[in-house]
């Protein structure tokens, strides 16, 4: 993989920076974790690689070590070591487990533990693409068809980026509950990861700005006009319409029974006043779609109006979020119990998840699903493009967000032909190349540093933007290198050492020849290849891997080396000999790494 240092320009004017953040296709998001419950004590344990851990007291920062327990005290955080700080900052992978919970959550990012209003607040800053995967995992079913998952990924990303300032006054962007979008931490299903990857950076646009989007589990057969649920929210693509797909397998009917005593308790907690005696409860106003809009509680000569949305939110918050599944219902009062008979799950605005899944099951693509639920909008990574579009090369596929990709297709055809000639494939292989439009989106999609030019996973190749590649050399050269990675990985055992897989690509491409310098030990070499500290170390590691693999090829032949790749190891005696004397291959100056 080729690497290059990317210089980031700092924008001095705050308004310009904020505008760029708002329209960015990928950014950092700070989420409040455990937002729906009180955290009085938190156990913190490393869950992977940690970059730094520190606590800040006043203007002085001190290092801390994990595991530890943190508790709120006054206006700060006190640790099990006895140290107290205004806040604790952790950079890396950690598991956070509130007292009383058995599992907790594990995630990587920048964590901040602070105290607000006498309670612990846990904040996690992570990439927006990672946020989309967690939200899609929490809001959608992993068994859904891929196309409806992709449609949901676009909507989830649109909501996150468009509402990134929802909790700005509280010091973070979004919360992890259904107030924003529910996040599910832990292992992410492969289907969810694929949906996020194949829609990387895509959001919905209307005109020159991002669309305002909503979604619900089941609209009951007819979506709701956004202005009926949130007065002031009006958009031509958020109007009520019939949804024939939602009810393909039934109308999602439900029943609920709530004793009036519980209702009175909720009213008291909200500061609402009910008549002393309730004789009847009825819906007095409905939306055009048929959902309850205003209810009336009457008795002893008094009538108390309550909006349906306020009632549902108050009851669900107090009694459980599935008590009233939607506002589409009839209600009666009998023997001191409210009887609700309804249909649909959620507010019904925007995308209906049940309908989207059915559309996908019937063969509709993600773009068609989004066009049905948000008519007049379009998918794009930016306001100027049309999202990811494919072009077919000679035995490979190119995905870009730019209108013209003829030059890259031409260079790719040449590179793919060379790769197959240098390393003839044993099984049919059809690579997919995706050129990311920004370095930040490349970094988030691949989890690689921004100075890497390309990254390959299986048969999928990810490239930096064209401007970055052309500054660093030939796009054809980069593609040749990555196509060789695809061919090597298509037959290499999972147990094959990284130095051998990387080295074979370097050697076959002819990119590294000459005397090796300050050779690393084999174990250190694999570590340097997997987790390079900087570009220079990466180049050094790749150069040595290439020389080692080149020496193997010179001595034993490419076919024998390919057999070792498939077997997953090189005989110990061979490795020992190479480690002592990596050999020399006269020839070109290195060109793959600069």
Question: For the segment 342-380, what is each residue's pLDDT rounded down to a tens digit?
Answer: 999 999 999 999 999 999 999 999 999 999 999 999 999
Q: Where are the beta strands (DSSP E) in 325-446?
A: 329-334, 337-343, 351-352, 378-380, 389-392, 397-400, 432-435
| 536 Cβ neighbours under 8 A, 6+ residues apart | none
Least confident stretch, 9-23, 72-86, 164-178, 473-487: 9-23
Produce one character per residue of 351-390: b if its CB has 16 or more CB atoms within 10 Å, e if not: bbbbbbbbbbeeebebbebbbbbbeebbbbbbeebbbbee
Query: Which residue do the tokens 């002031």 mark?
Result: 232
Higher pLDDT, 459 or 318: 459
Question: For the segment 312-332, what is each residue's pLDDT rounded down to a tens digit?
Answer: 989 988 887 778 999 999 999
pLDDT more than 70, % of the chain? 91
Question: For the segment 397-412, what is each residue's pLDDT rounded down to a tens digit?
Answer: 999 998 768 899 999 9
Mean residue pLDDT of the chain comes to 88
Six-digit token string for 283: 């819906």
Q: Are 182 and 136 in contact (CB under 8 A)?
A: no
Phi, psi of 569 (to 5 degrees): -160, 160
Per-residue model confidence (pLDDT) at position 58: 53
Average pLDDT over residues 445-457: 93
Per-residue model confidence (pLDDT) at position 593: 37
Report the C-alpha gap between 94 and 374 in whole angstroms. Answer: 39
Q: Are 115 and 121 in contact (CB under 8 A)?
A: yes
Per-residue model confidence (pLDDT) at position 514: 42
pLDDT more than 90, % of the chain? 71
Average pLDDT over residues 437-455: 94
Average pLDDT over residues 101-121: 91
Higher pLDDT, 214 or 591: 214
CA nearest to 565, candidates 509, 511, 484, 482:
484
Task: Compute the CA torsion angle 531, 436, 93, 485 (nearest 10 deg).
Answer: -40
Per-residue model confidence (pLDDT) at position 437: 95
How sure is the predictor about 526, in pLDDT bands with cuts at 50, 70 and 90? confident
Report the C-alpha gap between 570 and 593 in whole angstroms. Answer: 25
Average pLDDT over residues 3-28: 49
Domains, the chain, with CATH or none: 19-127 (no CATH), 130-241+349-380 (no CATH), 253-343 (no CATH), 389-491 (3.30.2010.30), 498-580 (no CATH)
Six-digit token string for 75: 């206006």
Report the C-alpha gap between 458 and 571 in whole angstroms. Answer: 25
How sure is the predictor about 61, in pLDDT bands with cuts at 50, 70 and 90? low
Report the C-alpha gap between 371 and 171 in whole angstroms. Answer: 35
DSSP one-letter string for 493-542: -TTS-HHHHHHHHHHHHT---B---SPPPHHHHHHHHHS-SSHHHHHHHH
Q: Are 198 and 388 in contact (CB under 8 A)?
A: yes
Q: Are 254 and 285 in contact (CB under 8 A)?
A: no
CA nearest to 438, candidates 219, 202, 276:
202
| 311 Cβ neighbours under 8 A, 6+ residues apart | 295, 324
- Give the CA angle between residues 243, 244, 246 to the nearest 5°: 70
| Res. 515: pLDDT tops 80 | no
Report the C-alpha gap between 272 and 421 in whole angstroms. Answer: 78
Q: Residue 190 burial by CB count (10 A; 0-12/13-18/19+): exposed, middle or buried?
A: exposed
Report the C-alpha gap between 439 and 450 in whole angstroms. Answer: 6
Average pLDDT over residues 158-180: 94
Report the C-alpha gap between 444 and 447 in whole angstroms. Answer: 5
Question: CA of 560: how far to CAs of 364, 428, 496, 505, 584, in Å?
Answer: 48, 21, 14, 15, 19
Which neighbouring-strand residues pair with 218? 345
Six-digit token string for 515: 């005397």
Helix count and strand count (H, E) for the chain: 18, 26
Higher pLDDT, 36 or 292: 292
Query: Which residue do the tokens 């007292």 mark?
Result: 99
Q: Please state the separation of Cα 223 from the chain's center in Å.
A: 27
Phi, psi of 222 (to 5 degrees): -150, 125
Query: Which residue do the tokens 């090597």 mark?
Result: 488
Q: Are 402 and 424 in contact (CB under 8 A)?
A: no
Handedness of CA 473, 474, 479, 482 (dihedral sign): negative
Q: 3-state DSSP call for residue 158? A: helix
Query: Which residue do the tokens 């209108």 mark?
Result: 403
């Amino acid at each position: 993989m080729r690497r290059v240092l990317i210089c980031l320009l700092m924008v001095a004017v705050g308004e310009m920076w904020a505008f760029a953040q708002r329209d960015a296709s990928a950014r950092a998001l700070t989420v409040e974790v455990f937002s729906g419950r009180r955290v009085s004590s938190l156990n913190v344990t490393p869950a992977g690689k940690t970059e730094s851990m520190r606590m800040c007291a006043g203007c002085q920062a001190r290092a801390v070590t994990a595991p530890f327990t943190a508790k709120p005290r006054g206006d700060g955080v006190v640790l099990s070591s006895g140290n107290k700080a205004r806040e604790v900052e952790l950079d890396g992978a950690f598991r956070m487990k509130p007292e009383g919970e058995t599992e907790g959550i594990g995630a990587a990012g920048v964590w901040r533990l602070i105290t607000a209003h006498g309670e612990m607040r846990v904040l996690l800053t992570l990439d927006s693409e990672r946020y989309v995967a967690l939200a899609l995992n929490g809001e959608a079913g992993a068994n859904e068809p891929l196309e409806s998952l992709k449609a949901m990924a676009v909507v989830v990303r649109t909501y996150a980026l468009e509402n990134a300032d929802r909790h700005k006054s509280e010091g973070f962007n979004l919360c992890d509950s259904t107030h924003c979008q529910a996040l599910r931490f832990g292992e992410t299903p492969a289907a969810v990861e694929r949906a996020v990857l194949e829609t990387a950076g895509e959001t919905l646009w209307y005109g020159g700005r991002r669309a305002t989007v909503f979604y619900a589990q089941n609209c009951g057969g007819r979506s709701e006009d956004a202005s009926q649920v949130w007065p002031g929210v009006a958009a031509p693509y958020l109007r009520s319409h019939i949804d024939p797909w939602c009810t393909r397998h039934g109308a999602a009917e439900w029943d609920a029974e709530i004793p009036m005593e519980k209702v009175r308790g909720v009213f008291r907690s909200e500061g609402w006043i009910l008549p002393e005696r309730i004789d009847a409860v009825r819906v007095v106003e409905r939306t055009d779609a048929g959902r309850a809009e205003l209810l009336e509680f009457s008795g002893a000569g008094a009538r108390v109006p309550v909006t349906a949305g306020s009632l549902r939110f108050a009851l669900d918050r107090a009694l459980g979020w599935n008590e009233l599944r939607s506002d589409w219902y009839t209600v009666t009062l009998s023997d001191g119990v409210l009887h609700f008979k309804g249909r649909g799950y959620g507010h019904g605005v925007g995308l209906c998840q049940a309908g989207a899944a059915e559309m996908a099951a019937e063969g509709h693509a993600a773009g068609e699903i989004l066009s049905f639920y948000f008519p007049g909008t379009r998918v794009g990574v930016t306001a100027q493009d049309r999202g990811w579009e494919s072009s077919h090369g000679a035995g490979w596929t190119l995905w870009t967000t730019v209108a013209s990709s003829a030059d890259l297709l031409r260079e790719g055809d040449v590179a793919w032909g060379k790769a197959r000639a240098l390393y003839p494939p044993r099984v049919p292989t059809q690579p997919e190349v995706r050129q990311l439009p920004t370095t930040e989106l490349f970094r988030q999609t691949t989890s690689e540093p921004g100075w890497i030019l390309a990254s390959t996973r299986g048969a999928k190749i990810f490239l930096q933007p064209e401007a970055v590649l052309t500054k660093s050399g030939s796009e054809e050269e980069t593609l040749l290198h990555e196509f060789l990675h695809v061919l090597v990985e298509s037959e290499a055992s999972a147990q094959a050492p990284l130095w051998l897989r990387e080295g074979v690509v370097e050697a076959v491409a002819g990119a590294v020849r000459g005397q090796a310098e300050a050779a690393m030990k084999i174990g250190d070499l694999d570590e340097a290849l997997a987790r390079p500290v900087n570009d220079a170390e990466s180049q050094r590691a790749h150069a040595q891997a290439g020389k080692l693999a080149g020496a193997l090829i010179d001595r034993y032949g490419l076919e024998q080396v390919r057999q070792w790749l498939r077997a997953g190891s090189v005989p110990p005696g061979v490795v020992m000999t190479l480690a002592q004397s990596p050999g020399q291959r006269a020839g070109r100056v290195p060109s793959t790494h600069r």
